[in-house]
């Protein structure tokens, strides 16, 4: 292997070049990034950056030691004859890792509202969060919740429009979202409400109501950035992610995919997993890099993510659709939900209970069975619920 190209200079792209060099790869290494700046961290964009605590979340990288040809502002537009096609000419490879992440989904026919994905988006939004401003957020998902938290703290009047009957409905069962409802008391939360149109300074709802807005922000999810692979031999999943096997290999030999843009075959869950969270972008690259260099490793993690909202640390690990019942662990404001498949723990959601989450994640990684009564008891350490 002489020429490796990594497309996408986000967390997963950076981790890939670090892992390749860490594994001893000594050949040419090119990292192509569509954005003009070096890789940065996205989670702070809806947290510390919006709160005005930081201005920059650039990831640490020793580019000289990495010996990477970092080409920024250079987007891949296709693959042809063993080369990545770009506007500035082809970049030949004999090993390729796709790490192009995801982009926000917009409302059909709408292009004026803000979204939050890039550092530029974060700075633009922060400028608009001034006391008294009227912000309408479309979508009460993870990003919508974090933006609403920062906006309320900045003295902004926040309305959140959500089509589902509970917050976070895209990723959690309704009974979890319903438990979180009191957290949203500082905003005008419109559940079961859909947007008809966004027009300059207003959001028009399907029921005819007009919400006046100084700022409109759409946060209804993301879609893998894979349009540039259309017409290539790289197979995509029905949701448009790059379909990879347990070794993170695509359908094209020598081509791998990692991070938000990839969906892998999980034998742990018996399904294709597509996870758009930080921990996945951090960890998958080591497996892709090892396999690109000839190893035969499998990537089959217990997925993990966190969210900081309404002064709380919300954490999740596992895959709750694999469960057949939920067990609650209640201690006032600090609660947890555990999903079991029979007696096997398959997912955990915790609110301000980081130790519970850590222990649950370990039990899941080890495939342990648990006693449902003990895991429901806040006086019993989660690890002590293992049978």
Ligand X SMILES: Cc1cc2nc3c(=O)[nH]c(=O)nc-3n(C[C@H](O)[C@H](O)[C@H](O)COP(=O)(O)OP(=O)(O)OC[C@H]3O[C@@H](n4cnc5c(N)ncnc54)[C@H](O)[C@@H]3O)c2cc1C
Binding site for ligand X (CB under 6 A): 7-13, 32-35, 42-43, 45-46, 75-76, 99-102, 116-117, 143, 225, 228, 259-260, 276-279, 281, 305-307
- Beta carbon of residue 254, minimum distance to ligand X (angstroms, whole number): 18
Q: With 0-12 CB in 10 A as exposed, 13-18 as middle and 19+ as buried, what is 192?
A: exposed
Q: Which of 298, 324, 306 is nearest to 361 (CA)?
A: 306
Q: Judged by CB, which is closer to ligand X: 43, or 240?
A: 43
Q: Judged by CB, which is closer to ligand X: 8, or 301?
A: 8
Q: Judged by CB, which is closer to ligand X: 279, or 331?
A: 279
Q: Judged by CB, which is closer to ligand X: 19, or 375?
A: 19
Instruction: Count Cβ neighbours within 10 Å for each residue of 116-125 and write b for 16 or more, e otherwise.
Output: bbbbebbeeb
CB proximity list for 131: less than 8 A, separation 6 or greater: 154, 155, 156
Cβ–Cβ under 8 Å, residues 317 and 347: yes
- Beta carbon of residue 138, minimum distance to ligand X (angstroms, whole number): 15
- Beta carbon of residue 197, minimum distance to ligand X (angstroms, whole number): 25
Q: Judged by CB, which is closer to ligand X: 113, or 143?
A: 143
- Beta carbon of residue 342, minimum distance to ligand X (angstroms, whole number): 28
- Beta carbon of residue 373, minimum distance to ligand X (angstroms, whole number): 31
Q: Judged by CB, which is closer to ligand X: 258, or 340?
A: 258
Q: Judged by CB, which is closer to ligand X: 70, or 327?
A: 70
Residue 52 Ramachandran class (φ > 0 left, ψ -120 to 50 alpha, else beta): left
- Angle among Cα 54, 58, 63 to the nearest 5 degrees reads 155
Q: CA-CA distance, 251 to 368, in Å (whole number)?
A: 34
* Residue tagged 């519970």 (tokens): 356
- Beta carbon of residue 8, minimum distance to ligand X (angstroms, whole number): 3
- Beta carbon of residue 229, minimum distance to ligand X (angstroms, whole number): 9
- Beta carbon of residue 97, minimum distance to ligand X (angstroms, whole number): 11
Q: Judged by CB, which is closer to ligand X: 260, or 356?
A: 260
């Amino acid at each position: 292997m002489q020429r490796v190209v990594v497309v996408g200079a986000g967390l997963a792209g950076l981790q890939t070049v670090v892992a390749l060099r860490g594994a001893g790869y000594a050949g040419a290494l090119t990292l192509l990034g569509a954005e003009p700046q070096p890789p940065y961290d996205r989670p702070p964009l809806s947290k510390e950056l919006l709160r005005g605590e930081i201005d920059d979340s650039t990831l640490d990288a020793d580019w000289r030691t990495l010996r990477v040809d970092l080409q920024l502002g250079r987007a891949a537009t296709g693959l042809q004859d063993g080369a990545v096609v770009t506007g500035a000419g082809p970049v030949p490879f004999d090993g390729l890792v796709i790490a192009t992440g995801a982009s926000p989904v917009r409302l059909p026919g709408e292009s004026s509202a803000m979204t939050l994905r890039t550092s530029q988006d974060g700075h633009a939004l922060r400028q608009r969060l001034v006391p008294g401003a009227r912000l309408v957020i479309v979508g009460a998902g993870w990003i919508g919740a974090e933006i609403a938290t920062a906006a309320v703290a900045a003295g902004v009047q926040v309305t959140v429009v959500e089509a589902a009957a509970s917050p976070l409905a895209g990723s959690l069962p309704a009974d979890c979202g319903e438990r979180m409802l009191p957290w949203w008391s500082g905003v005008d939360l419109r559940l079961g409400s859909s947007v008809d149109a966004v027009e300059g300074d207003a959001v028009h709802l399907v029921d005819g109501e007009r919400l006046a807005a100084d700022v409109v922000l759409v946060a209804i999810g993301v879609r893998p950035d894979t349009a540039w692979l259309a017409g290539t031999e790289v197979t995509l999943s029905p949701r448009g992610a790059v379909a990879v096997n347990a070794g993170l290999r695509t359908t094209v030999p020598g081509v791998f995919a990692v991070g938000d843009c990839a969906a892998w075959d999980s034998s742990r869950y018996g399904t294709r997993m597509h996870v758009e969270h930080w921990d996945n972008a951090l960890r998958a690259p080591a497996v892709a890099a090892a396999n690109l260099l000839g190893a035969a490793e499998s990537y089959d993690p217990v997925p993990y993510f966190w969210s900081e909202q309404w002064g709380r640390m919300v954490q999740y690990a596992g895959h709750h659709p694999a469960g057949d019942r939920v067990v609650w662990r209640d201690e006032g404001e600090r609660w947890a939900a555990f999903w079991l498949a029979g007696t096997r723990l398959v997912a955990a959601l915790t609110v301000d209970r980081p130790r519970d989450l850590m222990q649950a994640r370990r039990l899941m990684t080890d495939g342990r069975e648990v006693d449902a009564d003990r895991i429901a008891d806040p006086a019993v350490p989660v690890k002590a619920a293992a049978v």
